[in-house]
Amino acid sequence: MSGSAPPAETAWPPLVSKLFEFLGVDQIQYQTLVRSGFLIDLRASAQVASGGRETETPLRSSLTLYAVYSAFLGLLAFAIPAGLYGRVMMIFGMTLMGMIMLVDFGVTLVVPEDLVILGWRPISSRTYFAAKLTNALAFIAMFAGALFTLPSILGVFSKGASMLFPLLFLPCAVLGSVFVAGLVAASYAALLRVFSAERFRSAVNYLQIAMMATLMVGSQLGPRLEGRNALRAMRGQSLDTAAWSWWDLLPPHWFCAPSEALLGGAGARTLALSAMAFTVTAALFIVLTRSLSFRYLEQVHGSGSSAPSPNRSSDGHTPLILRAISTLFRTNEENVMFNLIRIVIARDRQVRLRVYPMMAYSLVVLPAIILFPASSGERHVSMGLMNITPLIVLTLLPSVILPLLPYAGESQGAWIFELTGFENSGSVASGIKKSLFCLFLAPLASISLAGLAFFVGMGQAALWVVFGLSSSMLLTQIAFMGLYSGLPFTRKMVKGKAASRMAYVLLCYLVIGALGALAYFVLDTTIRVLIATGVLIAGAAVLNSIGNSNFRPFDVGPQTDEPVGLIQ
Amino acid sequence: MTDSPAIEARGLTKRYGSFVALDHVSFAVPRGQILGYLGPNGAGKSTTIGILVGMLSASEGSVFFGGHEFRRDDYAMRRRLGYVPESGGLYETMTGFEFLQMTARLYHLGEKEAERKARGFLELFELERAMHQRMGTYSKGMRQRVLISAALLHDPELLFFDEPLTGLDANTALLLKDLVRQLAQDGKTIFYCSHVLEVVERLCDRVIILDKGKAVADGSMAELRSSTDAATLEQIFQQLTHEEDTEARVRQFQSLLRSEP
């Protein structure tokens, strides 16, 4: 810091002051920035968690939710050996931490607005970075505590665990969380080196979507794959911490290694993986210290000020596929809704960040069923389950996508509909449903078809995909009528409706379960599948006309109700 | 140091890829002068300020304050700057009081002094009743008053205003204009960037007009009038920034509004 700075009045111990001096960090500014950072992040996280509206205790709610969720998974401790338990918990915790960093608290590490607020003030990059790092580590510690404390304690009850398990596993888990957070931040920094400022923003968007999709898939598949080992272990084999496997390429295995080494005896594998964990985390933070500065913020900021990049559709020509799809949308209202949903999803980063990973999440069913361990613990594919995969994938989709479409205030410009109104409400409903079909169901059906055809042949795959699609259309009608009525982008979450909506959610899952059971146990011939498909399509058509005629675009419930957060 | 201009830009250039936002702009501002910096949208005004206050790096050129070259890591120099940004510039989740207190502490003011200054500025700008509310709930004018306070409370020598009157009511705007004049009389140098030509005409000692990243005019109002044969700054601005005949454009709008779908 500059030599002209007035002397700092501080009560900090001389050793700490000397350390700050050695690091070139201004003590008063650091203290001020850390304090303000906590204030801003806690309040900002409150708004993120509540979908832009302020609530009193969203952070506490989130932490409690994560703690309860991880405690449930921690019950695995009573079933599997300590080593395996640690790995499963580490995979789960690290992926969840990655998601938290990407969606909720990425803001803690990269704050472009800091450039305008602090970038011109006499604050060195080192002071700024030290404060940012402190804020980020505090958040990581808070979430790591929520995610790992109870599972660490429960780990004592896993087979072969000692009383030291919590003391050894928890620090490893926190280190793993620090690594994940550092990885997210370092990925941003690396993108800035690879991409020009003009392309940085879209590159960040795609990176976030790819990371989120990977994490969602990983959080489902990782523990399942470890579960295959669990079955072997439960048959009497103990987990051999000395044996190398391809799974050791995964970071959660590195971060489990120190506790495995200390609990089960240090070997070449556990020592090497432990060294990997510490080295990679340290390397990440060296990268970060070189990247996270006002210069970095300027680059992020500059990406928004740069000249617009050439737009592919700026020549006025609509792509052929869009023209083909738009023929399905016959009225003005249908066309408006299709274009609105298509454009918002294509351009709104927050919406894409929620929708695309959810699509990946739906698809997890296919590999999860392939990897489903049979009782023998050997590789085994259940053809019955395989056939109903499209049904599960496609019926889950409406329930995960519809609530993710933006709510009131989240999408700029939607207010125009409240001013202009619609001539034909039924057409609006029809447009939303058709958009859902064209933008999500049809692509996901194609992917399911390709995946399933590989195992059961094209004819059989097509049959089950059509069955899945017709089931999904029926579910979409039920969900649309009961759960998500009203125009997306203007809809408000209303507290009073939460309980009644739960009944619809249960109804939807009941229908999915019934359809799954029907398909698995009854539909064993092609003709039966075709008949069931026909019945489902007829049911969907009847509900479609009822739903469309009763559709009210701006039915937002009683105005006296307080708005509630999206995540509560 | 006293003979050297308070602010001097030499050949400032800023490129974003192939786009040139600022193209070899040079000027010098003596101590105590109020410089009006004008230009149409996208002319490079905010980019110039960003470089002058050390927020953005120039692709080419240098900035000098009092004859000393300004480097971005020169924190002693940065202490002498105050900046009111056009937009953003505050944390919406903080209260006005918290924000000003934080700002004062960043300049090493003691806890009590920071609190006193924050409270004083908020009272001066009639924000005492809202000082403990989050700034996200503030109107545009209230935010602007906080931004002005945050730029002034460490008593800087060089002040950079980017559209400071945005959202201010008539009384506060009058107060700010008087304050700017008084600050200049006290020897502070003001770099005043605005779209409001009447205010610039009345407030500034000298005007620079920027168009497409280049300085197209630099002088006092009298000098600009004589060099362009125009009576008002509005007419000068129109001539120099190649603005089309506005009446013709209004007629085009009218015909567009009347046209049938």
Which residue range(s) make up the domain with A445?
Answer: 328-549
The CA distance from A447 to the nearest CA of chain B, in Å, is 39
Query: A116 at the B interface (CB within 8 A)?
Result: yes
Domain boundary among A241, A272, A305: A305
Answer yes or no: is B25 within a domain. yes
Residue of A nearest to B42 (CA): A305
The pTM (predicted TM-score) of the whole model is: 0.67
By C-alpha distance, which of A435, A241, A479, A218 is closest to A342? A435
Answer yes or no: is A522 within a domain. yes
DSSP A238-283: PP-TT---GGGGSHHHHHHHHHHHHHH---HHHHHHHHHHHHHHHH
Answer yes or no: is B34 within a domain. yes
Please identify which residue in the block is written with the tokens 């990371």. Answer: A211
Answer yes or no: is A238 within a domain. yes
Instruction: Give pLDDT tens digits for A323-339.
Output: 777 788 888 888 888 88
For A268-282, A343-357, A462-476, A483-497, which range has the lowest pLDDT when averaged over its residues?
A: A483-497
Position A391 scores a pLDDT of 83
Q: Which residues pair with A490 in a beta bridge?
A: none
Position A4 scores a pLDDT of 43
pLDDT at B181 over 80: yes
Q: How many domains does chain A have?
A: 2
Expressed in angstroms, the distance from the first to the final Cα of chain B is: 66
Position B48 scores a pLDDT of 94
* B19/A306 CB distance under 8 A: yes
For testing the chain A interface, which of B16, B19, B99 should be mutated: the one with the most A CBs within 10 Å?
Answer: B16
Query: A1 at the B interface (CB within 8 A)?
Result: yes
Nearest to B79 among A2, A31, A124 (CB): A2
Answer yes or no: is A315 within a domain. no
For A238-242, A458-462, B243-247, which range has the lowest pLDDT when averaged over its residues?
A: A238-242
Answer yes or no: is A125 within a domain. yes
Answer yes or no: is B85 within a domain. no
* A4/B76 CB distance under 8 A: yes
* A122/B79 CB distance under 8 A: yes
Nearest to B106 among A32, A47, A196 (CB): A32
A-B interface: how many C-beta pairs under 8 angstroms? Answer: 101
* b/e map B32-48, b = 16+ CB within 10 Å: ebbbbbbbbeebbbbbb
Are B136 and B226 members of one domain?
no
pLDDT at A306 over 50: no
**Cα dist. A177→A31, A91, A142, A269, A287 in Å?**
24, 11, 10, 22, 17
Which residue range(s) make up the domain with B70?
Answer: 7-80+156-258
* A306/B73 CB distance under 8 A: no
Position A205 scores a pLDDT of 66
Alpha-carbon span A355 to B248, nearest angstrom: 48
Are B76 and B97 members of one domain?
no
Nearest to B16 among A1, A43, A307 (CB): A307
Answer yes or no: is A565 within a domain. no
In chain B, residues with a C-beta closer than 8 Å to the C-beta of A43 are 93-94, 134
pLDDT band at A370 (very low <50, low <70, confident <90, very high): low
Alpha-carbon span A526 to A467, nearest angstrom: 11
pLDDT band at B95 (very low <50, low <70, confident <90, very high): very high
* A117/B53 CB distance under 8 A: no
Answer yes or no: is A21 within a domain. no
Please identify which residue in the block is written with the tokens 């992917």. Answer: A447
Residue of B nearest to A195 (CA): B17
Position A141 scores a pLDDT of 85
Q: In this structure, what CATH number is given to the domain that contains residue B189? A: 3.40.50.300
Say if CB A32 and CB B105 are below 8 A apart: yes
Are A63 and A106 members of one domain?
yes
Instruction: Give pLDDT tens digits for A406-457.
Output: 544 445 556 677 677 777 878 888 888 888 888 888 888 888 888 788 777 8
Residues in chain B: 261
SS3 string, A528-563, reads HHHHHHHHHHHHHHHHHHHHHHCCCCCCCCCCCCCE
Are B121 and B180 members of one domain?
no
Are B231 and B116 members of one domain?
no
Position A411 scores a pLDDT of 53
* B55/A119 CB distance under 8 A: yes
Are B244 and B135 members of one domain?
no
Position A399 scores a pLDDT of 66
Answer yes or no: is A198 within a domain. yes
Comparing A16 with A220, the larger pLDDT belongs to A16
Answer yes or no: is A399 within a domain. yes
Q: Which residues contact B234 (CB under 8 A, 6 or more apart)?
A: B197, B198
Highest mean pLDDT: which range of A10-14, A61-65, A376-380, A540-544 = A540-544
**Mean of per-residue pLDDT scores for chain A:** 72
ipTM of the complex: 0.87
| pLDDT more than 70, % of chain A | 61
For testing the chain A interface, which of B14, B19, B75, B159 should be mutated: the one with the most A CBs within 10 Å?
Answer: B75
* A2/B17 CB distance under 8 A: no
Q: How many domains does chain B have?
A: 2
Highest mean pLDDT: which range of A73-87, A179-193, A359-373 = A73-87
Answer yes or no: is B72 within a domain. yes
Are A290 and A336 members of one domain?
no
Alpha-carbon span B144 to B121, nearest angstrom: 13
Domain boundary among B114, B130, B154: B154
pLDDT at A562 over 50: no
Domain boundary among A246, A274, A305: A305
Say if CB B36 and CB B200 are below 8 A apart: yes
DSSP A83-123: HHHHHHHHHHHHHHHHHHHHHTSHHHH--TTHHHHHTTSS-
Are A223 and A352 members of one domain?
no
Comparing B195 with A496, the larger pLDDT belongs to B195
Query: A4 at the B interface (CB within 8 A)?
Result: yes
Are A164 and A47 members of one domain?
yes
Say if CB A204 and CB A191 are below 8 A apart: yes
Position A565 scores a pLDDT of 35
For testing the chain A interface, which of B47, B83, B93 should be mutated: the one with the most A CBs within 10 Å?
Answer: B93
Are A236 and A333 members of one domain?
no
* B18/A124 CB distance under 8 A: no
For A134-143, A557-566, B148-157, which range has the lowest pLDDT when averaged over its residues?
A: A557-566
For testing the chain B interface, which of A116, A123, A124, A300 should be mutated: the one with the most B CBs within 10 Å?
Answer: A116
Comparing A364 with B37, the larger pLDDT belongs to B37
